[in-house]
Amino acid sequence: MSQLEVLMTPAQREEFTRWVQNVSLTILKCRDQQHDFPDWDDHKRNKVRRQRNGSFVIRAACKRKCGVVRNRFVGTDGYLTRSNKLSMDYSQAMPANRDPLKGYLMPDGARTHGGGFTREQRALIRLEIIARLGEWITDEDDDG
Ligand SMILES: [Zn+2]
């Protein structure tokens, strides 16, 4: 373990584990890998809007339907607008009942000061995915 590793307190670990066990597989996949955003030319899933100043906003929801929406801002010259190159909109990444154990963002009680996931949190996410896919997993010496 490196010196930079941020450790969870037991309470954070408990809260994080509860969250990991309750969120959808979709959210776990997006958390383990990356979101799956549509291509530019995916007219159904991408909204490209020209703003009054001529720049563009490209808004697309993750194809896995985790609820996260990405906004890209492209200037008239094609450069990504410096002020706001990219923004993620998490406002829809919550179930209707606002249950924090089902939402895309981990509950406050599971957050460490580093902000992002710790290595242990990433490991716990992978373990949970493996647990849920258990019936698909074969042993090395299985012939089937
Ligand atoms: Zn996603």
Give tens-digit pLDDT for 85-134.
Answer: 678 888 888 887 888 888 998 888 998 877 688 899 999 999 999 999 98
**pLDDT the model gives residue 123:** 95
Q: Phi and psi for 49 in degrees, rounded to 5?
A: -125, 125
In a domain, residue 143? The reply is no
5 within domain boundaries: no
Answer whether residue 125 is part of any domain. yes
The answer to whether residue 49 is domain-embedded is: yes
Average of pLDDT values for 43-62? Answer: 92
The verdict on residue 141 lying in a domain is no
Kindly report, residue by residue over 68-79, the tens digit of the pLDDT: 999 999 999 888
Whole-number Å distance between alpha carbons of 69 and 47: 11
Residue 82 lies in a domain: yes
Number of independent structural domains in the chain: 1
SS3 71: strand
| pLDDT of the residue at 9 | 92
Mean of the per-residue pLDDT values for the chain? 88
Torsion of CA 73, 77, 79, 84, to 10 degrees: -30
Which one has a higher pLDDT value, 135 or 21? 21
CA 69 to centroid of ligand 1, rounded, Å: 8
Position 35 scores a pLDDT of 94
Instruction: State the distance from the centre of ligand 1 to the C-alpha of 101, rounded, in angstroms.
Output: 17
Three-state DSSP class for 30? helix
Q: How far is the C-alpha of 46 from the C-alpha of 122, rounded, in Å?
A: 30
C-alpha of residue 30 to centroid of ligand 1, in Å: 5
Unique residue bearing structure tokens 């159904």:
44
Containing structural domain, residue 90: 10-136
Q: 86 in a domain, yes or no?
A: yes
pLDDT at 28: 96
Question: 93 lies in a domain?
Answer: yes
pTM equals 0.82
